[in-house]
Amino acid sequence: MAAWLVSVFALMAADDSRIILLETKDAKIEGGGRYDDTNGYKCIRDWKTTNVVARWNFDVPAKGSYRVLLTYACPRDGDGSEIEVNVGTQRANGLTESTGNWTTFKEFDLGPVLLRRPAATELSVKATRAAHGSVWDLRSVKLVREE
């Protein structure tokens, strides 16, 4: 478990300490799916079922409300998979929207979660319903502290 504990300081943009960026290359992937960095993909691919879960452990630098932003791609017929993100005891849900194809990535705002204190925290992403035989290719999860 310690091998995938990621320091939030290594993930924050140098000029914006309000952002926690969790890249899929650092995720622990369970239940299928795989990280692919060939041809510039840099994402979790083959996410086809509700069995796949991606997890990160990281340190929350400050308490507050954080917006959950996911960067992903899915084809024209990929609308409607239900996504659940759990951060500590907080949860955010949403439905995927097509990005047009597997190579066009977009950022999707799932809304805010309230992180009550600076602490070691786990974030997990899973699909609770996979539409049309495939969910998405997930590139990153970003938490942005709201002022």
Question: For residue 25, what is the DSSP state?
Answer: G
pTM across the whole model: 0.85
Residue 81 predicted with pLDDT over 70: yes
Contact 109, 120 (CB under 8 A): no
pLDDT digits (tens, 9 = 90+) for 104-138: 999 999 999 999 999 999 999 999 999 887 899 99
Per-residue pLDDT band at 76 (split at 50, 70, 90): confident
Residue 51 predicted with pLDDT over 60: yes
Q: What is the mean pLDDT of residues 9-23?
A: 66
Closest by CA position to 81, among listed 97, 104, 70, 101: 97
pLDDT for 84: 97
Q: What is the mean pLDDT of residues 90-101?
A: 94
Closest by CA position to 10, among listed 24, 21, 25: 21
pLDDT digits (tens, 9 = 90+) for 37-47: 998 889 999 99
Structural domains in the chain?
A: 2-7+20-140 (2.60.120.260)
Per-residue pLDDT band at 16 (split at 50, 70, 90): low
Q: What is the mean pLDDT of residues 75-83?
A: 87
